[in-house]
Amino acid sequence: MSTRVVTGKVRFSYFSALTARKNEMNGKEEFSTQVLVPKTDTETVNQLKAAAKAALTAKFGDKIPKTVRNPLRDGDTETKSDGSPLGPEYAGHYFFNTKSTAKPGAVDMHGHDIIGSQDIVSGDYGRVSLNAYAYDQAGNKGVSYGLNNIMLLSKGDSLGGAKPSAASDFGIAAGKAAPAAAESVDSDW
């Protein structure tokens, strides 16, 4: 059984897969994103579960530990560390984190390379390819998903943390000219 999965349409959160960020826990520069998978996409969910099981079997054989960390979390029941609920975008979704120390390939739905670090942001929709791998480190046992490649399918509403574009700050619609600036300046200051 394969540990490789190519998802159906998912949503990205905490997106930093085109620009590396330092992981404070291990000190490594990593490319990462959180992936929200609709529960209705049973094909992707089943592939993720099967890949995780294959990775565990490859690592532990038929002696899979009873308590292993499952990377696939339930957006309807999971809470933040302070006990408060997750945002409304998690409702009806499973979610997981995926990362890589190597920059993933990124393409649009036509196969054109995406190279700009802000071309995909949290809230956008796409697909990911990944590999499940099992780990056994310092008493922690579980499965994670390693990020291979990303495909952008469509832009979505920002999930916070992203700064507004310069055009939106100045009220410019894409492809339109900027509004005329006021001709006179109030000299009372």
118-131 residue pLDDT tens: 889 999 999 999 99
Contact 128, 97 (CB under 8 A): no
Give the DSSP H or E segment for 13. strand 10-22
Torsion sign over Cα 48, 97, 127, 8? positive
Identify the pLDDT of residue 150. Answer: 97
Rg of the chain in Å (alpha carbons): 20
Identify the pLDDT of residue 184. Answer: 46
**How far apart, in Å, do the first and last CA atoms of the chain sit?**
72
Residue in 177, 79, 98, 183 with CA at minimum distance from that of residue 145: 98
140-179 residue pLDDT tens: 899 999 999 999 999 998 886 555 666 667 777 655 555 5
Contact 17, 152 (CB under 8 A): no
Identify the pLDDT of residue 160. Answer: 66
pLDDT along the chain (189 residues), means of 10: 91 93 86 96 97 93 87 93 91 96 94 87 96 89 95 89 64 60 48
Contact 99, 32 (CB under 8 A): yes
Q: Rounded CA gap, 12 and 33, in Å?
A: 6
